[in-house]
Amino acid sequence: MGDPEGLKTMFKVLRMGEDAAGLNLATLGTQGKINIEAQSAGYQNIFQGAEVRAYRIECLEGGLQIYLDGSPVEEIRPGQSTDVEAKIIRVKSSEKAGAKGVYARIQI
């Protein structure tokens, strides 16, 4: 299997909570990136799994429509972020020019 102590250096877990107030996701370096091309009708999956997970999603450019378990729930604009929980989390650009953003899992 491998040495458990050695595995600790291979993985990092992002824990966000009250002590993370004012934290800018764009500066973390350990988050996922959202990049939906101009004129794209496609989605980008943030998470898909058997159990519900919580994520913070931040919009950097354009607008992001957020879908939880297949249903549209919210749209965020540049400079906005929101916390969501679902088994399937997807985003889609709300503008023809595309959209960019970042996301990070929230450990509860």
Q: Which residues contact 35 (CB under 8 A, 6 or more apart)?
A: 44, 98, 100
Encoded tokens for 95? 């503008």
Total count of domains within the chain:
1
CB 96 within 8 A of CB 5: no
pLDDT of residue 30: 54
Contact 100, 35 (CB under 8 A): yes
pTM as predicted: 0.71
What pLDDT sits at residue 78? 97
- CA-to-CA distance for 86 and 78, rounded, in angstroms? 23
Return per-residue pLDDT of the chain as tens, 108 residues.
Answer: 455 555 444 444 444 444 444 555 554 445 799 999 988 778 999 999 999 999 999 999 999 999 999 999 999 999 999 999 999 999 999 988 999 999 999 987
| Sequence-distant (≥ 6) Cβ neighbours of residue 89 within 8 angstroms | 45, 46, 47, 48, 53, 55, 57, 66, 67, 68
Q: In the chain, helix, strand, coil percent, each to 5?
A: 10, 50, 40
Tell me the β-bridge partners of 24: none
Can you give the residue range of the structural domain that contains 20? 4-105
State the CATH number of the domain containing residue 23: 2.60.120.10
pLDDT at 41: 77
